[in-house]
Structure formats: C-alpha cells, structure tokens
Amino acid sequence: MKMLLLLMLFYGSVNSDAVSKPNIIIAMADDLGIGDPGCYGNTTLRTPNIDRIAKGGVKFTQHLAASPLCTPSRAAFLTGRYPIRSGMASRSKVGVFLFSASSGGLPTNEITFAKLLKNQGYSTALIGKWHLGINCNSRDDFCHHPLNHGFDHFYGLPVTNLRDCKPGSGTVFTTAIHMFVFIPLQIVGIALVTLEALNCLGLFRLPHWVFFSCLLLAATIIGLLACFLHFFRPLNCILMRNHEVVQQPMSYDNLTQRLTREALKFINRNTGTPFLLFLSYIHVHTALFSSKEFVGKSKHGIYGDAVEEMDWSIGQILKALDKKKLTNKTLVYFTSDQGAHIEEVTDKGDIHGGSNGIYKGGKANNWEGGIRVPGLLRWPGVLQPGTVIDEPTSNMDLFPTIVKLAGAALPEDRVIDGRDLMPLLQGKILQSEHEFLFHYCNAYLNAVRWHPRNSTSIWKAFFFTPKFKPDDSNGCFPTHVCFCNGHYVTRHNPPLLFDISKDPKERHPLTSKTENHFHEILRVMQEAADNHTKTLSAVPNQLSWGNLLWKPWLQLCCSSSYLSLANNGDDNGHAY
C-alpha cells in the first residue's frame, strides 16, 4: 500500500509544468450503462479501446451523472453546476428537448468550460450530439447554439437521436398519440353512435351539421397526426455544420464514420495548438444503428453492434494521438451522460438498452443504475496507469478540472458545484472533496448522498422513489421512462436510507433498528439539503411547456441535400 501511494505521489509530482495546457479530448456516450464496457466487468461486449483508456489511466467506480436524463445531465456537465441552477430542469413529465424549433436551451449567461478554454487560446470543437437548444426568438439568432457557448466548430445533431428519426423504428410519442389522438377519436365516435341511436329511437333529432362537424373534427385530428408523423423527421432529425443545415433528414449511413472523420480532421488541424475536442457520440441512444462493417458482429444484437462501433471510433482517436505524438500531451476522458435505458424493449421482446451491471434502475431515475456511469481518464506521465478510485465523483467535476489545467480562473460570480479532480487523481488526497451530492429528478430534489469525512460509509437518502411497473420489474415500462412527481412516485417519511458502501445494489433500506445512528444521519442529510436549497436562485425555466413546444418561426430549414437519404455517404453525398 505504501509503495502504491509513493508511486501515485511520484506520478503526481512529475513536473506539472512539463505539459502546459494539455489537449483535452472528451468522449461521451449516450445512454451507455456502466455494465457495458469490459473494464467494468462485461465479458461479452468487446470494448478494447475504452478498456485501453482504463488500463492506461484512472477508473472511477462511483462516477455520477448530475441528472439521469440527457438534457439536464449535459447542461450540468458543460457548466459544472446542477441543472436546476440554469433552469435546465423540468417541472413537467417532459425533461428533455424534442424539437429543433423549441425556444428553450442553455442560457447565454451560463459559462461552459469550452468558453473558458477558448479564452485561453484553445481551439474548441463539439462533434456529435448537442441537445441543449438552438434558437430563442428567431430561426437565425442561434442563442443556445454550441458556437454561442464557446465552441469554434460544430458538426452534429442539434437535438438528439430518436426512434422517430429512423424509419421502421417506432416512435417516442406513443403515449402522447394515445392521449391526444386515440382518446379524442374514441370520444367523437362514441358521441356519434350515441346521438345516431337516440335519433333512430326518436328521442333526439340530430341536425346534419352536428354529424358533419364531428366527422370534420375526426378528420382534422387524423390529418394533424399524419402531418406530425410525416414532417417530424425532416424537421427535427437534422445534421448541422456550424450554423448550416447540411443534411435534412440526417442519414444513418456511415454516420459514426463521418463523425469520427470530422474529429480526426480537427485533431490534424490543431497539432500545434492546444485543443478541446468534445466527441459527443450518438451511440447508443435509440434508434440503434451501426455501419455495415459492424452489423451482426457482436453477441448482443444491434445494441452490441453500436457499442462496438463506438469503441472502434475511440480507437481511431487514440491512434491519431499516437501518430501525431500527442498522447502524452492529451488528457482523454470517457463517460456516459447517464445510465442505460432499461425500458428500451421492443414489442417483439428485443432488448435495445444496455446493462447497468449490479445496480438498480436506469435512465430517468436516481437509483444507482441511472446515475452511476463510466468515468475513465488517461494522461500518460501524469496519471498513474491502472489506478482505481472508489470515491464519489460527479460529471460536473470535469469543469473545474480542465478549466484549471488550461490556466483559467473559475467564475466567482456563481456557484460551481464541481470539484477539481486532479488532487484525487494524483493521490494528493484520498477522499473525494464532495462530502454531499444532490440527486435531482428533473427539478425535484430526489436524494442526497453523504460521504462523511474520515469514514468509509456512503449514505444515500431518498425523499421519493419511482413506482416501477410491473411491480417486480426494474423500470417503468408502461410509460417508457420513470416520472418524478404525482402518483408516479412513492414519498418516504422518514427518507429511505441506504449505506451504498455496503449495499451498492440498494436492496436493504436501513431503519432505526438496523442502524444505531439512523435519525442522526437523516438529520445531517436533511440539514445539508436545506442548506443546498438556500443557494438556489430563481431562474427562467428553460424546459417549461412554453419553451418545449414547437414554434414554426424557429424552424431550421433547409439543406442543399434536402431529403438527403438518397445520399449514401457524407453530408455532401460523398461515399467513404
């Protein structure tokens, strides 16, 4: 143990100035479970390149997303702040952006790590998924766009990948269609049949205009549904280069290769200057896809094919660093925005979601499976290879970590919730600087995590938990995701308490009979939650219904390759 500590201290002291302003490469998967990569115990999915990062650097085993949903998690990641602080946490059932013409998004007064690194002379690029808004008041103000948040270059999806983006993959709007289409049609149908029956019995005379009005209403509802299903894909599933729409709708053909090629071009252009590359993968959010070279090659169907293609892409990035002799000058970070989507099961029973390992729950809830994500960092010569750290850390921690490495000062006019990881990574401290972490389900404080100083215990208290359906399942299958309030949750008084250090599966809640300090632990955690709440300021809700709904005057259109699925290659129709 002493030898290990000496080695970590040696690596931590290796001439910190020898690599000034390191290049930063962030690879973020979408909905990848912590049980998917080989370095976290998976023996059937092949992820040699992700595993290479772990072997050559540091692996966090308790790395936590600030939110279990895409939009708020990514907002927290970029700003180092809980999403509630920026208004990027919803109070409704819908917790993410679904339309390219929504007016909500990451506020312009938020400071991203990209903005701070750009001010330090870094070239910055975001390639892949954004999902944090585009416009505010007009289709070309781009107030929420990546280029307005510190990125010099953007190539990717301004919204997200959805089932509706890929023909034949179904829709995410099943519940909404049932509520706003099928139920109204049933009501209209029942009303017509009832009125006609009364008319035939001579009990009520049905005017012709009433009959035709009902038919017109039904036809209007069906027509609106047809228009929505037809136009959703070309209006929302688009590929952009900076401010220009280059593919509408986007093509899945060779999509990962195109994103990878764009990333490699960026690296090659910036070998002589520090750079920040945020490679925000579309894999493995549904709709699942992979290039023909990977189809049918994994042991886990189309989900496994997608994971293995993403791993290939990471391998190309690592090879490029080796080739350009940038490996020792580059900090590489790999993670996922939240846990695997457990409820992604098709009508045929095919599993399209990943594995959260031993952990309970998944995407959209704050059981460990929803927020415990891969956390890998590699920086040869600075970080000790093969290091494993079990301390609680957050994806918000990358913000202060890379901002300080770039030589920038942290903003002093706002609360930064992330903590600099370098002292922990280099063994200068052995315990996480997070004594408390707060887990939000949308805008609602769901749970508190407490790691007392000089203690191995990690307490986690839930104020409410989602109601899994079916009752013996591990998710909320009828609604496709778990919701955060109302009759969808069970509230706990006193809060549901676990010791994560001893019960990581969250199977055995503690009581005053099984934990002598039960009431004192909950008192401290409630006090911490109250103090945290006092630090919150009122801000506009970026995910209100007014900001979520589609606004035609904000709609992006059109690329030169409109309906470009005729092209089987890049956004200019060039094949690879």
Active-site residue set: 70, 131
Check: CB of residue 396 under 8 Å from CB of residue 76.
yes
Query: Taking Cα atoms as reference points, which of 244, 238, 293, 250 lies closest to residue 570?
Result: 250
Question: Considering Cα of 94, then 253, then 46, then 62, what sign does the dihedral take?
Answer: negative
Region of 325 (left: φ > 0; alpha: ψ -120 to 50; beta: rest) is left
CA dihedral 126, 481, 485, 98 (to 10 degrees): 40
Distance between CA atoms of residues 476 and 465, nearest Å: 12
- The number of beta carbons lying within 10 Å of the beta carbon of residue 184 is 13
Q: Where are the alpha helices (DSSP H) in 87-207?
A: 113-119, 174-177, 183-200
**Eight-class DSSP state of 565:** G
Say which amino acid occupies 297. K
The pair of structure tokens assigned to 397 is: 């921690």
Distance between CA atoms of residues 96 and 108, nearest Å: 18
Distance between CA atoms of residues 390 and 58, nearest Å: 11
Distance between CA atoms of residues 242 and 213, nearest Å: 48
Q: What is the Cα Rg of the chain in Å?
A: 25
Query: Taking Cα atoms as reference points, which of 280, 162, 326 lies closest to residue 229?
Result: 162
β-partners of residue 239 are 247
Could you report how far apart the first and last alpha carbons of the chain are, in Å?
Answer: 51
The pair of structure tokens assigned to 79 is: 């700003």
328-356 CB burial, b ≥16 within 10 A, e <16: ebbbbbbbbbbbbbbbbeeeeeeebbbbb
